[in-house]
């Protein structure tokens, strides 16, 4: 991997964005890369926008990914996906969880929330996006809080099928890092969620092409 | 062992490995996690001080007593500590003293973006600046060495991006204090010529510290983190801090002089580098600190004519600035597809559902009084629809500002609003002044039983220390009475009627008064156990929208319209509502339920 691989993770506080980026940066380290991560959030408590930058490479300098320089956008929420679109390079991979978390500016402030066809039209101008219902998959597994791991599974499969990562970043690397970060009684659930995400992503990607 | 650590975790690790014995801080975003992590290491003492000045004095005392000591603060915290910071430079210490200043370019959580390298220079002390977490750890350890070798405090200057970025760090072992490097408490020094800064002594110390910084400049020449990386000689870049990383991404071919010590500067090294490149530029965030010093050496250099003075950098900003200045060709620009994404819903910071500050702000807005605010979660009382904060400058400012406005003959009664932790920080002397010089300022102390905005740190009011020990719990009401305030009342923060009645009564007084609104932050674990969502009785609601005026994220417009007015009725998101009953108390049609009797709100004792 000559040029670093740049990720942007975007979500809303409470969705597990930070945990997902912690897994991602450690997967990079476990695969033998230089790996850096930067969290970008202001005075957000619950419900604020959260963005995290992750970079893997032989040599990585900046912890931040510049505008138009992300190879991969992993979005946990639809409107946040659109907010981070300017980071994605043309032809980059976007994995979007089609969940809507309405801020108070929409629910009582009268601001519009972007409709699905608008989101898809915007992404179509830049790249091919893969749309997933991570919340539904997580619910089927019996725990709505596991959606972030579902999305990591989806990301791992798509990185392979798009040939963004070499072979050493395999499923076991991902699961090893995840296992180190969850309590023992949740390991099985996390593994199921990861694999469910992989299957859903590959199915979705083949349907969309 | 290699671990991924944030810059904050790396500084904590470095301080521990360096054998630091005592650390003190006020919880400071973006560097709060330094002390939270340091406090968990074995064989260390760590504390939250009421403010940064106290924290620096504590660290100085420990260093006078012969133990390595650390004080941590954000950039504006150094302003609070400035008096102590300056005398520490004058006296030096018996053991190493490092003061961490976490600057906040782009003001992610601050009132300004001052560049504290200026303050290191101002105080004649060295300033070290890491470019990543490994260097954050290494320079923390190096700072103690420099401090002891030259008998000087050292500033370790971080920025938000260094604090909150995670990069690989090689872990080392702690160098435990030994009898040689003072594990046994030494006899406290009796050396008034050095440690008592009366004018006669101070005047003899001043030349000492001027010579000291010249001596440090000599080792800056060979300091390992100051180093030349020669490459293409057509462009030479001097850089420091995280800006170095952005510059390396954007100019992979250029030659670099990276400075891990940004004060004092290694002048011969800079001259050597400048002479070996055709064009010299400085890439640094915020002030042209290095640039101006290089220009004073008579070396032609550019910096802020190319790169922004304001805000933080990233690779995109550095690249665009370089292209616009002709340093890079247009073809260096990343291909970007401009997409019109339209208006996106903003997610502004708001008071959380169930926040105990909301009730008083709703009433203050209703009373239309001028409110001089302070720094904490409650600054969010400024946001519509509450609109109830009219000034906010820095920690502890509100009470003094209200007093000054009153003394200037402001035609309205002024209310000062301050949180529990900020009151302990710098509110106490300001309230003392209101009492001493008698103004009819009404001070509201919003006591949510914790330091909230920085993430639930302990403070003198909580009865627990940073390292988890039980301690004396300061009672704010007794403290306020001891300051001489005669009209004082503590009210449960969700009792709207009582707050309103008390405020109206106090606003009629011609002397100082204090209202304490007390209720634990709704996000504290104990408070979470009491969450019970309320409901809107749809048949009672006529869509009057009054409940929207408390600005609670849990109150939504429902799809159902009132038959008569055709207005959307209110509904409550049960996943967000905590059952604080503020909305239920103001609903004119009793359309919002109260908590069931057996779960009635309890007195927060």
In chain B (605 residues long), the average pLDDT of successive 10-residue segments reads 96 98 95 97 97 98 97 98 98 97 95 98 98 98 98 98 97 79 74 98 98 98 98 98 98 98 98 98 98 98 98 97 97 88 89 95 98 95 94 98 98 98 98 98 97 92 97 98 98 97 98 98 94 96 94 91 94 93 97 91 53
Q: Which of A206, A205, A207, A209 is nearest to A95 (CA)?
A: A205
Residue B50 CB coordination number (10 Å): 18
Residue of chain B with shortest Cα separation from A50: B347
Rounded to a whole number of angstroms, the distance from the CA of B423 to the nearest CA of chain A is 21
Cα separation, B400 vs A28, whole angstroms: 52
Are the CB atoms for A131 and A104 separated by under 8 Å? no
Enter the DSSP assignment of B425: I
| Whether the Cβ atoms of residue A65 and residue A55 lie closer than 8 Å to each other | yes
- Residue located via tokens 């020990």: B469
Q: Which residue of B has its CA nearest to A114?
A: B344
Q: Which residues of A touch B342 (CB under 8 A)?
A: 114, 118
Task: Check A79 against B314: CB less than 8 A apart.
Answer: no
Q: In residues, how long is chain A? A: 209
- Transcribe B84-95 into DSSP letters: HHHHHHHH--SS
**Contact state of B315 with A64 under an 8 Å Cβ cutoff:** yes
For residues A140 and B392, give the distance between their C-alpha atoms in angstroms, rounded to a whole number: 48
Looking up tokens 């009470």 gives: B399
Q: What is the average pLDDT across A163-173?
A: 81
Taking residue B467's Cβ as centre, other Cβ atoms within 10 Å add up to 14
Residues of B in contact with A45 (CB under 8 A): 349, 352, 377, 523
Least CB–CB distance from B345: residue in A63, A68, A105: A105
Calpha distance A145→A76 (Å, rounded) = 12
* Chain position carrying tokens 């101070």: B202
C-alpha to C-alpha distance for B160 and B373, rounded to whole angstroms? 25
CB–CB contact B345 A49 (8 Å): no
Would you call B185 exposed, middle or buried from its count of C-beta atoms within 10 A (0-12, 13-18, 19+)? exposed
C-beta of residue A68 within 8 angstroms of C-beta of residue A88 = yes
Q: Closest CB to B347: pick one of A36, A47, A67.
A: A47
User: What confidence score (pLDDT) does residue B178 get?
Assistant: 61
CB-CB contact of B250 with B205 (8 Å):
no
Which of B164, B317, B334 minimises the CB distance to A38?
A: B164
φ and ψ at B277, to 5 degrees?
-125, 155
- CA B525, CA B449: separation in Å to the nearest integer? 12
Task: Please determine, for residue A208, whether its predicted confidence score (pLDDT) is greater than 50.
Answer: yes
Identity of the residue in A39, A40, A108 whose CB atom sits nearest the CB atom of B555:
A108
Kindly determine whether residue B109 and residue A43, on different chains, have CB atoms separated by under 8 Å: yes
Phi-psi region of B202 (alpha: psi -120 to 50; beta: other; left: phi over 0): alpha
Please answer yes or no on whether B341 and A114 come within 8 Å at the CB atom. yes
C-alpha to C-alpha distance for A36 and A141, rounded to whole angstroms: 32
Nearest beta carbon to residue A125 from set B167, B248, B337: B337
- According to DSSP, residue B423 is labeled I
Does A5 score more than 60 pLDDT? Answer: yes
pLDDT, greater one: A96 or B347: A96
Helix (H) or strand (E) holding A101: none
Residue A67: closest CA among B107, B314, B251: B314
Contacts of A20 (CB under 8 A, 6+ apart): A9, A52, A74, A76, A148, A149, A151, A152
Q: Let me know how many helices (H) and strands (E) chain B has, helices first.
A: 21, 20
Give the model's pLDDT for residue A108.
72
What residue ranges define each of the domains in chain B, with the CATH number in brackets? 2-220 (3.40.50.970), 226-330 (3.40.50.920), 358-527 (3.40.50.970), 546-599 (no CATH)
Question: Nearest CA to CA, how far is B168 from chain A (Å)?
Answer: 7
Partner-chain residue, chosen from B161, B341, B349, that has the shortest CB–CB distance to A63:
B161
**What was the pLDDT predicted at B598?**
82
Predicted local distance difference test score (pLDDT) of residue B454 = 87
Pairs of residues, one from chain A and one from chain B, whose beta carbons lie less than 8 Å apart: 149
Chain B (449-478) residues lying within 8 Å, Cβ to Cβ, of chain A? 453
Strand ordering across the sheet containing A70-75: A128-132, A88-97, A70-75, A5-12, A49-57, A34-40, B165-170, B2-6
d(CA B342, CA B262) in angstroms, rounded, equals 43
Q: In chain A, whose CA is at the least distance from the CA of B133?
A: A36
Q: CB–CB of B97/B60 below 8 Å?
A: yes
Shortest distance between the Cα of A199 and any Cα of chain B, in A, equals 30
Helix (H, G, I), strand (E, B) or coil at A84: coil
- Residue B254 gets the label, from left (phi > 0), alpha (psi -120 to 50) or beta, of beta
pTM score above 0.90: yes
Domains and CATH numbers, chain A: 5-208 (3.40.920.10)
Q: What does the DSSP 8-state code read for residue A85?
A: G
Pick from A49, A53, A51: which is nearest to A12 by CA?
Answer: A49
List all residues of chain B from 276 to 315 with a beta carbon under 8 Å from chain A.
314-315
Taking the C-alpha atoms of residue B63 and residue B84, their distance in angstroms, rounded to an integer, is 13
- Could you say which DSSP state residue B426 is in? I
Distance of alpha carbon B308 from alpha carbon A1, whole angstroms? 33
Which residues on chain A are in Cβ contact (under 8 Å) with B317? 66
* CA gap B3, A179 in Å, rounded: 17
* pLDDT at B441 (0 to 100): 98
| A194 Cα to chain B: minimum distance (Å) | 23
Distance, C-alpha B346 to centroid of its chain: 24
**What three-state secondary structure class fits B296?**
helix
CB contact under 8 A, B132 and A63: yes
Residue closest to B320 by CA, chosen among A75, B328, B312:
B328
Q: Which residue in B97, B133, B101, B138 sits closest to B116, CA to CA?
A: B101
Q: Which residues contact B335 (CB under 8 A, 6 or more apart)?
A: A68, A89, A90
Rounded Cα gap, residues A48 and A18, in angstroms: 13
Residue B529: strand, helix, or coil: coil
Is B1's Cβ below 8 Å from some Cβ in A?
A: no
Q: Is the pLDDT of residue A26 over 60?
A: yes
pLDDT of residue A188: 96
Mean pLDDT of A54-63: 96
Whether A122 sits inside 8 A of B341 (CB atoms) is yes
Characterise B342 by phi-psi region: left (phi > 0), alpha (psi -120 to 50), beta (else).
left
Burial profile B215-230: b = 16 or more Cβ within 10 angstroms, e = fewer: ebbebbeebebbebee
In this structure, are residues B78 and B117 in contact, taking their beta carbons and an 8 Å threshold?
Answer: no
Phi–psi pair at B229, nearest 5 degrees:
-120, 90
CB interface of B with A, residues 159-178, below 8 Å: 161, 164-168
Contact B553 A26 (CB under 8 A): no
Q: Is residue B392 a contact partner of residue B373, using CB atoms and an 8 Å limit?
A: yes
Give how far B455 is from chain A: nearest CA, Å: 9
Which of B254, B338, B341, B568 to substitute to test the interface with A, most A CBs within 10 Å? B341
Q: Is the pLDDT of residue A124 over 70?
A: yes
Q: How many residues does chain B have?
A: 605
Which residues are A129's β-sheet partners?
A: A94
CB atoms within 10 A of CB B159: 29
Dihedral sign computed on CA atoms, order A150, A153, A154, A155: positive
Best interface-test mutation with A: which of B162, B166, B558 has the largest number of A CBs within 10 A?
A: B166
Distance from the Cα of A179 to chain B's closest Cα (Å) equals: 17
8-state DSSP, B369:
-
The answer to whether the CB atoms of A29 and B2 lie below 8 A apart is: yes
For B169, the 3-state DSSP assignment is strand
Q: Note whether B350 contacts A25, CB cutoff 8 Å.
A: no
Q: Do A39 and B164 touch (CB under 8 A)?
A: yes
Q: Answer for the pair B285, B313: CB distance below 8 angstroms, yes or no.
A: yes
Q: State how far Cα B435 lies from the chain centre.
A: 29
Nearest-Cα distance to chain B for A37, in Å, is 5
Q: Is the separation of the CB atoms in A190 and A139 below 8 Å?
A: no
Taking the CA of residue B556 and the nearest CA in chain A, the distance in Å comes to 5
Contact call for B315 and A107, based on CB within 8 A: no
Q: What per-residue string of b and e applies to B495-527 under the rule 16 or more CB within 10 Å gives b? A: bbebbbebbeebbeeeebbbbbbbbbbbbeeeb
The rounded distance, in Å, linking the Cα atoms of B358 and B378 is 8
């Amino acid at each position: 991997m000559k040029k670093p691989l740049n990720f942007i993770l975007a979500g809303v506080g409470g969705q597990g964005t930070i945990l997902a980026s912690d897994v991602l940066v450690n997967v990079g380290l476990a695969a033998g890369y230089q790996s850096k991560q930067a969290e970008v959030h202001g005075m957000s408590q619950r419900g604020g926008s959260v963005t995290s930058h992750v970079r893997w490479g032989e040599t990585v300098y900046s912890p931040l990914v510049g505008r138009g320089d992300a190879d991969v956008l992993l979005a946990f929420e639809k409107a946040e996906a659109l907010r981070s679109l300017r980071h994605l390079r043309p032809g980059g991979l976007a994995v979007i969880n089609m969940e809507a978390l309405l801020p108070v500016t929409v629910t009582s402030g009268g601001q519009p929330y972007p409709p699905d066809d608008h989101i898809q039209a915007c992404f179509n101008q830049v790249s091919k996006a893969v749309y997933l219902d991570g919340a539904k998959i997580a619910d089927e597994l019996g725990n709505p809080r596991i959606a972030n791991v579902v999305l990591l599974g989806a990301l791992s499969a798509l990185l392979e099928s798009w040939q963004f990562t070499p072979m050493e970043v395999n499923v076991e690397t991902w699961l090893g890092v995840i296992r180190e970060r969850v309590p023992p009684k949740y390991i099985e659930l996390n593994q199921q969620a990861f694999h469910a995400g992989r299957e859903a992503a590959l199915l979705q990607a083949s349907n969309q092409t | 062992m290699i671990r991924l650590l944030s810059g904050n975790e790396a500084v904590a690790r470095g301080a521990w490995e360096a054998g630091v014995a005592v650390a003190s801080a006020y919880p400071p975003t973006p560097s709060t996690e330094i002390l939270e992590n340091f406090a968990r290491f074995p064989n260390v003492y760590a504390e939250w001080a009421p403010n940064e000045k106290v924290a620096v004095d504590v660290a100085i005392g420990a260093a006078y007593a012969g133990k390595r000591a650390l004080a941590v603060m954000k950039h504006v915290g150094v302003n609070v500590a400035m008096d102590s910071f300056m005398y520490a430079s004058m006296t030096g210490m018996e053991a190493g003293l490092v003061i961490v200043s976490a600057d906040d370019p782009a003001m992610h959580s601050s009132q300004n973006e001052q560049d504290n390298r200026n303050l290191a220079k101002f105080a004649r002390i060295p300033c070290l600046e890491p470019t990543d977490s490994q260097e954050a750890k290494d320079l923390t350890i190096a700072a103690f060495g420099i401090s002891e070798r030259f008998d000087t405090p050292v500033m370790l200057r971080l920025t938000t991006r260094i604090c909150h970025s995670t990069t690989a760090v090689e872990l080392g072992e702690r160098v435990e204090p030994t009898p040689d490097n003072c594990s046994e408490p030494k006899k406290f020094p009796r050396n008034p010529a050095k440690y008592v800064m009366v004018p006669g002594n101070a005047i003899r110390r001043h030349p000492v510290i001027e010579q000291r910084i010249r001596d440090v400049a000599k080792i800056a020449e060979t300091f390992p983190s100051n180093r030349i990386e020669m490459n293409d000689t057509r462009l030479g870049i001097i850089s420091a801090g995280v800006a170095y990383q952005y510059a390396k991404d954007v100019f992979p071919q250029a030659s670099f002089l990276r400075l891990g010590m940004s004060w004092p500067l290694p002048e011969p090294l800079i001259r050597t580098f400048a002479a070996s490149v055709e064009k010299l530029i400085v890439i640094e965030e915020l002030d042209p600190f290095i640039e101006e010093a290089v220009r004073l050496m008579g070396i032609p250099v550019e910096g802020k004519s190319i790169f922004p003075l304001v805000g933080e950098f990233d690779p995109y900003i550095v690249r665009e600035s370089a292209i616009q200045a002709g340093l890079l060709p247009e073809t260096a620009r990343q291909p970007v597809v401009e997409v019109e994404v339209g208006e996106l819903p903003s997610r502004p910071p708001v008071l959380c559902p169930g926040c105990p500050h909301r009730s008083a702000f709703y009433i203050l807005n209703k009373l239309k009084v001028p409110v001089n605010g302070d720094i904490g979660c409650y600054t969010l009382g400024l946001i519509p629809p509450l609109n109830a904060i009219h000034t906010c400058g820095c920690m502890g400012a509100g009470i003094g500002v209200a007093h000054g406005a009153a003394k200037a003959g402001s035609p309205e009664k002024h209310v000062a609003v301050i949180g529990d932790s900020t009151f302990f920080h710098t509110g106490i002397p300001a309230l003392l002044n209101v009492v001493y010089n008698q103004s009819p300022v009404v001070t509201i102390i919003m006591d949510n039983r914790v330091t909230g905005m920085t993430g639930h740190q302990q403070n003198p009011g909580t009865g627990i220390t940073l390292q988890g020990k039980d301690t004396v719990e300061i009672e704010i009401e007794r403290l306020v009475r001891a300051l001489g305030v005669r009209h004082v009342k503590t009210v449960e923060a969700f009792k709207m009627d009582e707050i309103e009645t008390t405020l109206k009564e106090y606003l009629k007084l011609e002397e100082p008064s204090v209202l304490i609104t007390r209720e634990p932050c709704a996000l504290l674990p104990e408070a979470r156990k009491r969450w019970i969502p309320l409901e809107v009785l749809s048949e009672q609601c006529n869509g009057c929208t009054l409940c929207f005026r408390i600005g609670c994220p849990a109150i939504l417009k429902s799809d159902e319209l009132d038959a008569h007015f055709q207005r959307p009725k209110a509904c409550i998101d049960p996943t967000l509502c905590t059952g604080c009953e503020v909305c239920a108390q103001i609903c004119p049609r009793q359309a919002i339920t109260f908590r069931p009797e057996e779960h009635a709100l309890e007195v927060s004792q």
